[in-house]
A and B are shown apart, each in its own frame.
Chain A
Amino acid sequence: MTMTKTADSSAPAEYDGKFLSVNDLRVQFSTEDGIVKAVDGLSFDLERGKTLGIVGESGSGKSVTNLSILGLHNSKTTEVTGEILMEGEDLLTVKEKRLEHLRGNKMAMIFQDPLTALSPFYTIGRQIMEPYRKHTGASKKDARARAIEMLEKVGIPQPNRRVDDYPHQFSGGMRQRAMIAMALVCDPDLIIADEPTTALDVTVQAQILDLLKELQQEFGSAIIFITHDLGVIANMADDIMVMYGGRAVERGSVSQVLYEPDHPYTWGLLSSMPRLSGDVNEELRAIRGTPPSLLNPPPGCAFNPRCDFADQVAGNKCREVRPDLGEGRAAACHLSADQKQTFFVEHIKPRLG
């Protein structure tokens, strides 16, 4: 990472622009096989109190994006360029010390697997107290009271007893609740939730998702919610960004992306999922082929080898020119607006029920 002089420890004065703004983010890893472009020119904005859902398959770059926001990537092997502005402060250029101040305090993360994200060595209470004491300088006693308060808030029964338990004494759903308590303890402005419910059962998932939503209302945090499950996103997010091969391919509000999707990949995702109200005699429409290699992504649109509509664009454009994602509600696709409309209404919509 490049280092430039910026004001450290003290937070910048009131900033009235966008809360979080990511501009042209690129993340590259050098591996034995070559350079992996995990994220390739990604831009998005997020407002306070809103939830942005990032959907994509494994290897689409959704997790890497968020590790770089928190500065958790290995800076020896990773090259990150672009801008990540949080309240006007570029997180890619600030000092490690400042990042340490922000992490856990202004931004926090909820991981997928609470068993590996929590240390088996320390009690749940201690792990919740640690960031709180570090960032607020509270006494042990106050921090403990705060930990109990947080555990109660996330619905751990008998919090004043369970605060001294170790993670292995908690069930899966309770561990995820404890992790949410840990993330929220300093009242962060930004929460990054990376597949927070993938490891949980459906009934527990429903509890946790509702809990997160209610807590967001109370704390007013912005959430970046990463998942591969469009159903979960539909419940959680205000806006959706669909990622494929390290780039955003479609962006819009929940109802725009789920009910009037514009990108063939989003169409594919939606029509390959069985749903509870769908026609069971209708065969699922799978997206053919496999996700692209990030070592040498296909030329042109990364989705073109799997796209059913690539031939509809004149002059082999899909295989040669990479489509750009416009501003606001947009899809990175060469199809014309009319074509998209016709194809969606004729081929895709009937399958979505």
Chain B
Amino acid sequence: MSEELTLTKPTDAVPASGEPLLTARDLTMHFPIHGGFPFKRKVGAVQAVDKVDLDVYPGESFGLVGESGCGKSTTGRLLTRLLEPSGGTLQYQGTDITKATRKQLAPIRSEIQMIFQDPYSALNPRQTVGRIITSPMEVNDINPSGGREARARELLEIVGLNPEHYNRFPHEFSGGQRQRIGVARALALEPKLIVADEPVSALDVSIQAQVINLMQKVQRELGIAFVFIAHDLAIVRHFSQRLAVMYLGKIVEVGDRDSIYLRPRHPYTHALLSAVPEATGPREDGKKERIRLAGDVPSPISPPSGCRFRTRCWKAQDICASEEPPLVQISGNAAGHLTACHFPEEGTTEATSQDVVMDPALQSLESQHD
């Protein structure tokens, strides 16, 4: 299968220029929490996404990374308008679609598609593969020359499946193959933007690379823009030219690949990068900085005031609690590399003289053993 995926020499770094395809400003999603007796009323809100600004340009791959509960999936669903934002604006090619009705959205829906995380639940088990791929065309009344079936078979071939599998059911396929069907379905309408929400995290390691290669081929050859949502930093680095790091509903840092991975400024980005376990790499110990945060991500129901990362940050001071840091370009950073921090770190991932260990249990154990 991998043979079919060979490419012409991949071209990198589609310039992020021209008009953005999709623009989000102050995009906010607060899910209300109802409670109380005897009458239910709103008692609070899960601030899943809070004032997020981002632009996706045509043909680029934009990554969205963060830990669970940081709002990256919710952002993905807002961008596809599967959810209606509770605040902010969302523009698609200059048209405001923030509050667009179902009817107004209909022509845009075909241009923004989604690939889901779990290929086992994203495909209807009672429909054949052919029906799964052709029904978006039916709904949107698209009649490709040669007929829908021929197009579906062609799509199966593009994603590396046998066109003869047209009449099979999803259960007859393995996880990786099902994810390929998901990709074929997303391609059926020739979209301009695909939002892929953790498309490979449910797959085995050896299969992940197959699906990543396939999506990369699709992205480069068909010029489709991707919003790639994942928690695995190495995979996002491989797939996306630009990316945003999210923490507790906010974008804390955004920039091109090299800026984020080589010259990160936000302490949280530093912590994330230092936590990635690597199988091989520089063998000499101590070349990479070591940061161990304490505890887990706080609840998005009552996020910390000011900077949301301050409760786990080793550089936090009073101003971090009182004032929310704006997402701005710090002097010395490349254009488009924005960081939201009052006390940014040095732009390097090299080891510092002392490890940052915030975890109290680790601290005491390490001091015992040293």
Identify the A interface with B (CB < 8 A): 57-58, 152-155, 157, 171-174, 177, 201-207, 209-211, 214-215, 217-218, 228-235, 255, 258-259, 268-270, 272-278, 280-281, 283-291, 352-353
Which of B2, B68, B238, B292 meets A274, CB within 8 Å?
A: B238
- Whether the Cβ atoms of B233 and A276 lie closer than 8 Å is yes
| Cβ of B368 under 8 Å from chain A | yes
In the assembled complex, how far is the CB of residue B235 from the closest CB belonging to chain A, in whole angstroms? 5
Given contacts A214-B369, A259-B280, A280-B257, contact A206 B233 (CB under 8 A): no
- Whether the Cβ atoms of B271 and A203 lie closer than 8 Å is yes
B237 partner residues in chain A, CB cutoff 8 A: 274, 276, 280
- Whether the Cβ atoms of B10 and A283 lie closer than 8 Å is yes
Given contacts A202-B275, A211-B359, A283-B7, contact A277 B281 (CB under 8 A): yes
Which of B272, B281, B292 meets A207, CB within 8 Å?
A: B292
Which of A153, A203, A258 meets B280, CB within 8 Å?
A: A258
| Bound CA–CA A281/B359 (angstroms) | 37
B254 partner residues in chain A, CB cutoff 8 A: none
- Whether the Cβ atoms of B362 and A202 lie closer than 8 Å is no
Closest 9 CB pairs of A and B: A155-B361, A231-B277, A286-B209, A272-B209, A201-B67, A230-B279, A206-B275, A274-B238, A214-B365
| Bound CA–CA A286/B294 (angstroms) | 36
Binds A, one of B122-130, B151-159, B199-207: B199-207
| Cβ of B210 under 8 Å from chain A | yes
- Whether the Cβ atoms of B210 and A286 lie closer than 8 Å is yes
B273 partner residues in chain A, CB cutoff 8 A: 276
- Whether the Cβ atoms of B279 and A202 lie closer than 8 Å is no
| Cβ of B91 under 8 Å from chain A | no
| Bound CA–CA A235/B279 (angstroms) | 8
Most chain A Cβ neighbours within 10 Å, of B212, B278, B294:
B278
Given contacts A215-B365, A231-B277, contact A202 B231 (CB under 8 A): yes
Beyond A174-B296, A203-B67, A232-B277, 13 additional contacts (C-beta under 8 Å) are A154-B361, A173-B296, A202-B276, A205-B277, A229-B277, A259-B280, A273-B209, A274-B234, A276-B273, A277-B281, A283-B10, A283-B216, A290-B174
The 5 listed contacts between A and B (C-beta, < 8 Å) are A57-B205, A210-B362, A214-B362, A258-B279, A286-B210
- Whether the Cβ atoms of B205 and A206 lie closer than 8 Å is no
User: In the complex, what residue of chain A is closest to B369 when comparing beta carbons?
Assistant: A217
In the assembled complex, how far is the CB of residue A345 from the closest CB belonging to chain B, in whole angstroms? 15
User: In the complex, what residue of chain A is closest to B4 when comparing beta carbons?
Assistant: A288
In the assembled complex, how far is the CB of residue B87 from the closest CB belonging to chain A, in whole angstroms? 27
- Whether the Cβ atoms of B209 and A275 lie closer than 8 Å is no
| Cβ of B86 under 8 Å from chain A | no
- Whether the Cβ atoms of A155 and B206 lie closer than 8 Å is no
A204 partner residues in chain B, CB cutoff 8 A: 67, 293, 296
- Whether the Cβ atoms of A280 and B238 lie closer than 8 Å is yes
- Whether the Cβ atoms of B278 and A275 lie closer than 8 Å is yes
| Cβ of B348 under 8 Å from chain A | no
- Whether the Cβ atoms of B204 and A291 lie closer than 8 Å is yes
Encode B280-317 as 1/0 by CB contact (under 8 A) with A: 11110000000011111100000000000000000000
A205 partner residues in chain B, CB cutoff 8 A: 275, 277
Which of B261, B271, B278 meets A231, CB within 8 Å?
A: B278
B369 partner residues in chain A, CB cutoff 8 A: 214, 217-218
B231 partner residues in chain A, CB cutoff 8 A: 201-202
| Cβ of B176 under 8 Å from chain A | yes
| Bound CA–CA A40/B234 (angstroms) | 34
| Cβ of B12 under 8 Å from chain A | yes
Which of A155, A201, A273 meets B234, CB within 8 Å?
A: A273
B329 partner residues in chain A, CB cutoff 8 A: none
| Cβ of B1 under 8 Å from chain A | yes
User: In the complex, what residue of chain A is closest to B3 when comparing beta carbons?
Assistant: A288
- Whether the Cβ atoms of B360 and A157 lie closer than 8 Å is yes
A275 partner residues in chain B, CB cutoff 8 A: 234, 278-281
- Whether the Cβ atoms of B12 and A281 lie closer than 8 Å is yes
| Cβ of B89 under 8 Å from chain A | no
B359 partner residues in chain A, CB cutoff 8 A: 155, 207, 210-211
